[in-house]
Amino acid sequence: MAQIGFLGTGIMGFQMARRLCEAGHRVSAWNRTRDKAERLLPFGGTVADEPRAAADGAEIVIGMLADGPTSEAVFFGQGVVAAMGQGALLVDMASIPVETAQEHARRCRAAGIGYLDAPVSGGEKGATDGTLAIMAGGESGDFERAKPVLAVLGRPALVGPAGSGDLAKLCNQMIVGNTIATVAEALLLAERGGADPAAVREALMGGFADSAILRNHGLRMIERNFRPGGLSRYQLKDMRTASAHARSKGLELPVTECVSGLFAQVVEHGDAELDHSALMRELRRRNGLPVE
């Protein structure tokens, strides 16, 4: 079993670190808010006062941090990479820009450290159940080293060189965000047209319109359950990152741009900390309908 440093024990990170503890790995966790890391103590984890302390002696360091600037600050500004031993492996599982992941890989290689960008999809439920889709970019040897650990968390797949994991995650987030918007519009139309949205959702499942978004997020919309699994503000961040990367490649993505604008309104109107299915609330506001 591996010695693992785990950085970032928020909504998903805690569940991921818990699974690693329960699988028998030795986990030293750090979180900016210490009490969130202390939740691992009953599962056999330990808590570090600083991120570099969690990384010291670790074979693998996993980062599940908020964004690219946070990863940059913690890995390089707060001494994580400097504290890692030669040949250790850094796995960044946050959603960060492709170019940032590529630069982090370069700096890690220069320091004698392996690197994977391995963002995830599946939300809190996937983290809890160990069913996350894990999209990894990096060297095949580093991926094979990390695979037994990542397999505790879900289904790891190597999709290309450094940066490719985050590119795949951007594609994922485009599909997720755009589909959330379409499902919300469809259920709103069903409601206003006089049908039962719950019955419409049930009728659509199993047909060509079926999806994990219709099943999971559609149910959230019907039940008005917007307790966060994936935060709206993170969805906005990822869609803006996807649009910026597309522009850098000379691409225009009009659907993604439109939906990104909707999520910007979700955040602007105070729903940043709600689940991304709360886009339904924004559609209701736009149409002068009650927002429960």
Catalytic site residues? Answer: 169
CA distance 97 to 162: 11
Which amino acid would we find at residue 115? Answer: Y
CA distance 163 to 24: 30
CA distance 203 to 16: 34
- Helix 232-248 vs helix 254-266: angle between axes, to the nearest 10 degrees? 150
Which token pair is 45?
Answer: 């984890």
Q: Is residue 185 within 8 Å of 258, Cβ to Cβ?
A: no
**H/E element, 98:** helix 98-110
CA distance 231 to 55: 27
- Helix 232-248 vs helix 164-193: angle between axes, to the nearest 10 degrees? 120
Residue closest to 209 by CA, chosen among 189, 231, 232? 189
Phi, psi angles (nearest 5°) of residue 114: -75, 160
Which amino acid would we find at residue 109? Answer: R
Using alpha carbons, list the distances in angstroms from residue 101 to 91, 118, 180. 10, 10, 27
CA distance 225 to 245: 32
| Neighbouring residues of 100: CB distance < 8 A, sequence distance ≥ 6 | 68, 71, 72, 166
CA distance 74 to 51: 7
